Structure 1
Amino acid sequence: MVQIVIVGAGPTGVTLALLLVKRGITVTLIEATKDFHRVFRGEGLMPSGLEALEEMGVSALLKDIPHRQLDAWEFIIGNKQLFQVDEPMGATQPCTLVSQPLLLKALISSAQTNDGFEFIQGLPVKDLLWSNQRVAGVTLSDGREFAADLVIGADGRNSLVRQRVGLELVRQPKNIDILWFKLAASPEFAENNVFRTILNGDRAFTIFHGAESGKLHLAWIMSATENTDSKQANWAEIFASLSPSWLAEYFRNHADTIESPIRLSVVVGYCPQWHAPGVLLLGDAAHPMSPVRVQGINLAFRDVIVAANHLVPLLHKKTGHQDIDIALSRIQAEREPEIIRAQQLQLEEAKQGELLRKNALVRSLLIQLAPLLRKPIKKSWLKRQYKMRQGITQVHLTV
C-alpha cells in the first residue's frame, strides 16, 4: 500500500508529491489529462509564491523554463493614465510570469529521481475506496485500485474528490466570466512588461506579455449584460476603440494575430471543512480563488508547505490513521485565516472595479481630476496590494 495518493497534478499536487517523496514518503500522483497544456493556466507568481518555491528548494528550476518578470502595473481610464506603479513594490522580488506546463514537467522530472514515486497520467480517478467509513484509496477509470493511508484532493475547483466525499463548497454569489485572448507581441512589450488595466466607459480589459515568447495575453472582463458575439466580433476594432492611440494602432496593425477567445467561467468559493477521515483537500479543491491579483497558485504553494510540515513526521513514524486525521484539521486551522482574508481582499478589489464600471459619475470625476487624485489613489492601491503580494501569514518549511 502507498502512503499517499494525490489526485491532480497541478501546482498543488506536483509540489506536494515532490516534497513528500524527497522525504521518503511513498506517493502515487494521478492526473486525468494526457498533458499539461490546458486551455488556461495561471502564470503569475507573486513574491509570496516565489518565496514558497525557495522554501521548497526548487526555485532554481525557473532558470531553465520560460519566465518573465513584470516591470510595472498601469491603470488607464478613459484613455488617460490614472497611475503606474513599478515592480517590485517594496518586495525583494518582482511578480514573475512562468510557463506553468513546463514548470510542472520540471517538478515531476525532479520527483521521478526519487524512490517511492509513481506518476500515472491520462487516467482519471473514478471513485474513492472506503474502509470502516474512512477513505482508503482510489479507483481509476481502468479499474485499478490504489489503497493509501491518505488521499489528497488537489484536483482543482471542480474537484471530483470533494464531490465523492461530500464536502461542501460555498460559492460566492456570482461567477467571474472572462474572455481570454492571445495575440502577437512586438519586442517593446517584452522589454517593458507592464500589466495594464484599461477601463473605458463600462468596458474593461487587462493586457500584458506572458511567459511565452512573443505573446500578449488579454483578459476581457464580461459584464452581466454582455451581448457581444465573441466568435463574430471585430475584436481588434473593439480593443482599439477603448485604448489610447498608441495601443489602438497596435491592435489594428496586428488584428490578424488575435486568436479566437476562450471563455473562462471562474467558480470562486470556500469549503467550510477541507477534510474527512482519510482525505484532505488543498489548493483550489478547498478554496477556489478569484483571478484578482493571481492568488490561486501562490496560496496553493503555501498550503503545500503547511501540509508537509504536519504530515511528514506522522508518516515517518507510521502512526495510526486517527493521528493522521487529527493532523488534517490542524492543517486547515493553520491555513484558514490566510485563505479567508485573501478572498476578502480579492472581493474588495473586485468591488472597486465594479464601482468604476457601473458609475459613470465616478469615472468622469477620476478622469477630470486625475492630476490631483493620482498620488492618493496610487497610495491607497499600493496599501491594498501588500498582503495579496507578500502573504498574510508567515509560512516556512520545517521538515
Structure 2
Amino acid sequence: MASMPPWTEQSPRREHPEHRRTSCIVAGGGPAGIMLGLLLARAGVDVTVLEKHADFLRDFRGDTVHASTIRLLDELGLGEDFRRLPQSRLDNFQLPLPDGSRLPLGDFGRLRAPYNYVAMLPQWDFLNFLAEAAAREPTFRLQMNSEVIALLYEDGRVTGVRYRNRDAGTGRSRPAESAVPDSELRAELVVACDGRHSTLRRLAGLIPREYSVPFDVWWFRLPRHADELGGIASIVPSFGPDEAMVALFRQDYFQIGYLTHKGQDARLRAEGVERFRERVRRLRPDFADRLGTIESFDDVQMLDVRLNRLRRWYRAGLLCSGDAAHAMSPAGGVGINLAIQDAVAAASLLAAPLRRGQVRRRDLASVQRRRQPPTLLVQAAQRRLHKILFSGTSAGRPAGVPRLLVFAARHLPRLRALPARMIAFGPLPEHAPPFARR
C-alpha cells in the first residue's frame, strides 16, 4: 500500500470561530467529493470536505479511471502527474460465446489516443493524488475523522451539519458523553457525496427507487506471478452454472470478483473456505496454484450490489451527488467516473451561485437536469448487461447475448468503438470548467 501523506494523519481539532462557517460542505471524501472540492476551490469558493475515516486505505473500492476522467485531469493540468502513478492499463473487455469465440464489448484500442484505455490503480492512490492537488488551493480544506451525524435547518432549509470527531487512533466514533463535543459547521450548500448508503440522504428523508439486481459480488485478491506481470490487459469473464468470475489486473496482483445469486453470502460462508476455493478453481483452473492465499473468509469481502436512484436529488440547501443520488452496479466499472462527471457538472453550475452566497432550488435542479439523462442511459445499459451476464449460462458461457450484437461485432467492426466509447466516456462526458483549467 502507498504511504499516506501527512495531511491524512491529522486528527480532528476543535473548531475555531473562523472555521464554523464555509461556503460549501462536501460530506464524503471519495472521488466525487474530492473532485468537487478541488473544482470549487479553483473557482475561489470556500469549501470543506468532511471524511469520516482517518485515511483512504480501504480495499476493493472501484479502481478504474476511465478516459473521461483522464481527459478531465489533462484539462486540469494534472494529467502528466497522474500518468506517473503506478497503474495498469485495460485495453478491452470481451465475452466468451457458446461457439467458443469471444465477443468484444469494449475495444478501447479503437478510440483516439491518448484516451484509448482504462487506467487501473488503487483508489487510495487516486484519492491521495486528488487531495494533494486540492490542498494547493487556499480555499480548500479536507477534514478527516469527521463523521456527519445530523443536518442543521433554518426555516426548512439545510444550513449546515453536525459532525462527530472520530478517534484518530481507533477510527471509531467518540461516544456522545466524550469530553470532545460534537461540532457544527454551517454553509450555503451541503453536498452529499457519502455513497450508496448515504447518511445525509437518509437524514433528509430522500428515498431512492430500488431496481432488481440478480447478483452480488465477493471480492478478494490473488497474487500475480512474475511472468504474468505486464502492461495492457484484457478482461474476459469466466462463467459456470449460476456463477461467474472476473479477474482485474493490478500492478502485482489480481483483484477477483466472484458473482453468484443475490443473498447467498451466509450460505457461501457456511460452506467454508475450502468449498469457496473449489468454486474459484472450477471457474479458473489456472489459479489453482495460488488459492491457498485465501486463508479464510476474512480475505473475502462481499459487495451488496445495488442499482437505484433518487426521484429528486436535492432539497433546499442540500444536493445529493454520485452514488448518494444514484447507486450504480459494478457492471462496466463506470460508477466512479459517472460520479466524477456529476461533480464536474455541479461545480460548473454552482460555482457562481456559491460565490454570490445564494444557491437556489433552481440551481440545484439544473444539476439534476444535466446529469439525470446520462444516469438513466447508463443504468438501463447496466440492467441489460445484467441479463446478458446472469440470465443463465450455456456450457460455461452467457446465454443472453443478443444475436444482433454478435452479428454487429463480427461483421461491422466500426461499431465496436461504440460500446467502448460508452464505457470509456459515458453518454454525456463533462469537461473542466474554464475557471478550473491550468
TM, length-normalised to structure 1: 0.87
Moved more, 197-206 or 131-140: 197-206
Q: Number of matched residues?
A: 384
Residues 272 and 140 of structure 1, relative CA distance in 2, 3 Å threshold: same
Q: Is the partner of 1:266 in helix, strand or coil? A: coil
1:181 has 2:220 as partner? yes
Tell me how far apart the structure 2 counterparts of residues 68 and 76 of structure 1 sit (CA, whole Å).
Answer: 23
> 1:74: Cα distance to partner?
3.6
1:325 has 2:361 as partner? yes
Residues 283 and 372 of structure 1, relative CA distance in 2, 3 Å threshold: closer
Number of the residue aligned with 1:242: 283
Number of the residue aligned with 1:344: 380
Number of the residue aligned with 2:274: 233
Tell me how far apart the structure 2 counterparts of residues 203 and 291 of structure 1 sit (CA, whole Å).
Answer: 16
Kept in 2: contact 1:53–1:59 (CA 8 A): yes
> 1:303: Cα distance to partner?
0.8
Find the partner of 2:430 among 392, 395, 399.
395
Structure 2 runs not aligned, ≥5 long: 1-20, 165-180
Find the partner of 1:127 among 150, 157, 163.
150
Find the partner of 1:44 among 64, 75, 78.
64
Residues 237 and 231 of structure 1, relative CA distance in 2, 3 Å threshold: closer
Letter paired with 1:214: D
Q: Is the partner of 1:307 in helix, strand or coil? A: helix
CA deviations on 1:254-302 (whole Å, 9 max, x unpaired) are 2223462111112210011111000111111101111000111111111
Structure 1 runs not aligned, ≥5 long: none
> 1:223: Cα distance to partner?
1.7
Residues 11 and 78 of structure 1, relative CA distance in 2, 3 Å threshold: same
Find the partner of 1:209 among 223, 246, 249.
249
> 1:177: Cα distance to partner?
0.9
Tell me how far apart the structure 2 counterparts of residues 313 and 332 of structure 1 sit (CA, whole Å).
Answer: 17
Kept in 2: contact 1:176–1:267 (CA 8 A): no
Letter paired with 1:355: S
Kept in 2: contact 1:5–1:152 (CA 8 A): yes
1:140 has 2:140 as partner? no
> 1:251: Cα distance to partner?
1.6
Number of the residue aligned with 2:118: 95
Q: Provide the alpha-carbon RMSD of the alignment.
A: 2.9
Residues 361 and 307 of structure 1, relative CA distance in 2, 3 Å threshold: closer
Tell me how far apart the structure 1 counterparts of residues 385 and 239 of structure 2 sit (CA, whole Å).
Answer: 15
Kept in 2: contact 1:183–1:216 (CA 8 A): yes
Number of the residue aligned with 2:13: none
Q: Is the partner of 1:114 in helix, strand or coil? A: coil
> 1:353: Cα distance to partner?
1.1
Letter paired with 1:204: A
Q: Is the partner of 2:382 in helix, strand or coil? A: helix
Kept in 1: contact 2:389–2:398 (CA 8 A): no
Number of the residue aligned with 2:343: 304
Output aligned runs, 1:290-301, within 5 Å. Answer: 290-301=329-340
Number of the residue aligned with 2:233: 193
Number of the residue aligned with 1:53: 73
Number of the residue aligned with 1:62: 82
Q: Is the partner of 2:304 in helix, strand or coil? A: strand
> 1:150: Cα distance to partner?
0.4
Number of the residue aligned with 2:7: none
Moved more, 290-299 or 108-117: 108-117
Tell me how far apart the structure 1 counterparts of residues 392 and 419 of structure 2 sit (CA, whole Å).
Answer: 17
CA deviations on 1:49-100 (whole Å, 9 max, x unpaired) are 3223333333333234221101333434679453456532324320111221
CA deviations on 1:217-239 (whole Å, 9 max, x unpaired) are 11111124854336423444432
1:115 has 2:138 as partner? yes
Letter paired with 2:155: N
Kept in 1: contact 2:240–2:395 (CA 8 A): no
Kept in 1: contact 2:214–2:262 (CA 8 A): no
Number of the residue aligned with 2:129: 106
Kept in 1: contact 2:50–2:143 (CA 8 A): yes
Letter paired with 1:242: L
Letter paired with 1:396: H
Number of the residue aligned with 1:287: 326
Kept in 2: contact 1:189–1:209 (CA 8 A): no
Letter paired with 2:134: A
Number of the residue aligned with 2:54: 34
Tell me how far apart the structure 1 counterparts of residues 65 and 225 of structure 2 sit (CA, whole Å).
Answer: 23
Tell me how far apart the structure 2 counterparts of residues 394 and 215 of structure 1 sit (CA, whole Å).
Answer: 31
Residues 251 and 312 of structure 1, relative CA distance in 2, 3 Å threshold: same
> 1:349: Cα distance to partner?
1.1
CA deviations on 1:193-221 (whole Å, 9 max, x unpaired) are 221201133331111212xx311011111
Moved more, 83-92 or 164-173: 83-92
Residues 110 and 231 of structure 1, relative CA distance in 2, 3 Å threshold: farther
Tell me how far apart the structure 2 counterparts of residues 361 and 44 of structure 1 sit (CA, whole Å).
Answer: 27
Kept in 1: contact 2:69–2:340 (CA 8 A): yes
Kept in 2: contact 1:18–1:111 (CA 8 A): yes
Kept in 2: contact 1:198–1:205 (CA 8 A): yes
Tell me how far apart the structure 1 counterparts of residues 208 and 184 of structure 2 sit (CA, whole Å).
Answer: 27
Q: Is the partner of 1:222 in helix, strand or coil? A: strand
Letter paired with 1:87: F
Percent same amino acid among aligned pairs?
24
1:163 has 2:202 as partner? yes
Letter paired with 1:263: M
CA deviations on 1:150-187 (whole Å, 9 max, x unpaired) are 00100001111111111121111246411111010023
